[in-house]
Amino acid sequence: MKCLIIAAGEGSRLSSRGDSKPLIPILELPLIERVILTAREAGLSDFYVVTGYNGEKLRNHLDKFGQEKNLKITHLINDDWERENGLSVLKAKGKIEENFILLMSDHIFDGAILSELLQQKVVDGEVMLAVDYNLNNKNIDIDDVTKVLTDDDHKIINIGKNIRKYNAYDTGIFFCSPAIFEALEESSSNGDTSLSAGIKILAQKEKARVFDIKGRYWIDVDDEKAFKKAENVLLNNLKKISDGPISRYINRPISTWISKYILISKNITPNQISFFSFILSMIGAFFFFLGGYVNLLTGGILVQLSSIIDGCDGEIARLKFQTSDFGRWFDAVLDRYADGFLLFGLTYNVYFLRGNLLYLFIGFLAIIGTFMNSYTADKYDGLMKRKTASGKHYFRVGRDIRIFIIFLGAMANQSLLVLLVIALLCNIENIRRIVVFYKSENR
């Protein structure tokens, strides 16, 4: 499926950040690149970009970008870029003759919106618009946003920036049939060249439907205030529904702050961050082997720091669209090695001080429970994501909790208690997961 992106406007309200709005970087990635890469993650790879103001600069950039990312990017030029955006869409008439996705180059959004929109069915002559029913959305500019009035059958009754009665906002994400071109030609002949005017004509024919984004994030990056909001939106949405409580409330707020500044250095890769986190854990484990409270405390601090840094690799990967199966696997392998050395270091610390074989057995239970906790996580997470409502967190005992227990135990000089708590917690959690999975399979 083809994807049409409008990028012809001047964007004067963000001119202080650059002379080409689509190329203004947000968290070190140009706006239009972020839009294209979001669409690519949803499965699109054939892009038509309408350029206008400062178009040559943008086209040259996109040519290089397309080659680097192995994307097909076709340029369409709108010399009437100072007029309304419906003319930009019309530039694709005759170039796109089947259903297509229409996006704005300055709208940042959750990729899940597009993925779910693509699963909808749009028949000939129809257009489907992704709308936000959250009228209290603090990320929108109420004076600038396009409003939408829909009926109970999810059809558009009215649309426009100045309509008084509305129950949704236009996100700028469309699933179109070629009928949009005829509608825009009709509205243009009536003197209105806006995209909304074309949608109105289709709405009058009951051919304009809506798709509920169900609270997922989107933002029109139109001015300085919206730009800063967009940065915060992207950072705040780095959380994962599988995050444990420590990761969610303690680690993630710190790691996202760190990630924001790591982004400045374009040479740092997610895998390098994973390895750095691993090295911190190994140094922490080394201090556990040395014995003594100062060494135990130093090791505990380094381990908790490594746990925070361990969140940055995935955050950087998602922000820069560099996620990969290898990266996830590499991070998991390093975590398992680090866990093994950390718990073995604590076990040695306890046994060296007390010399009781029972403590070796407790250490063994902690190690095997931790490894099985990681082993069962994949199946458990998959099950809970299917059972849990979209975007909702679920209960999970994971690595963030284990590392934080080690940190607290190190501060309290209670290495034996740490091993005992981890041994009990992890093995009980593993049994709980088995029971949960068994019940779900036998319903």
Whose tokens are 């063994």? That residue is: 364
Which two three-digit tokens encode residue 12? 């004067």
Q: Is residue 230 part of a domain?
A: no
DSSP letter at 98 equals S
Asked if pLDDT for residue 160 goes beyond 70, the answer is yes
Structural domain of residue 243, as residue ranges? 238-441
Q: Same domain for 216 and 336?
A: no
The answer to whether residue 125 sits within a structural domain is: yes
- 111-128 pLDDT per residue, tens: 999 999 999 999 889 999
Looking at beta carbons, which pairs linking 250-255 to residues 24 or more positions away fall under 8 Å? Answer: 250/404, 251/307, 251/308, 251/311, 251/400, 252/311, 254/308, 255/308, 255/309, 255/310, 255/311, 255/312, 255/315
Which two tokens mark 72?
A: 């097909």
Same domain, 49 and 192: yes
**pTM of the shown model:** 0.89
Residues 335 and 416 in one domain: yes
Q: Are residues 332 and 363 in the same domain?
A: yes
- 179 belongs to a structural domain: yes
DSSP character string of 387-400: HSPTT-------HH
Name the pLDDT band for 90 (thresholds 50, 70, 90).
very high
- Tokens for 8, please give them: 């012809």
118, 159: one domain: yes
Per-residue pLDDT band at 396 (split at 50, 70, 90): confident
- DSSP element (H, E) containing 153: none
Residues 281 and 278: their CA atoms lie apart, in Å, by 5
Quick one: pLDDT at residue 377?
A: 86
CATH code, 362? 1.20.120.1760
Token couple for 154: 């999810």
From 197, 224, 251, give the residue that closes a domain.
224
Give tens-digit pLDDT for 176-225: 999 999 999 999 999 999 999 999 999 999 999 999 999 999 999 999 99
* pLDDT for the residue 384: 81
Q: How many distinct helices (H) and strands (E) make up the chain?
A: 15, 13
User: pLDDT tens across 240-277, in order?
Assistant: 878 889 999 999 999 999 999 999 887 899 999 999 99
Query: Which of 181, 201, 224 finishes a domain?
Result: 224
- The number of folded domains in the chain is 2
Residue 232 domain-assigned? no
In a domain, 229, yes or no: no
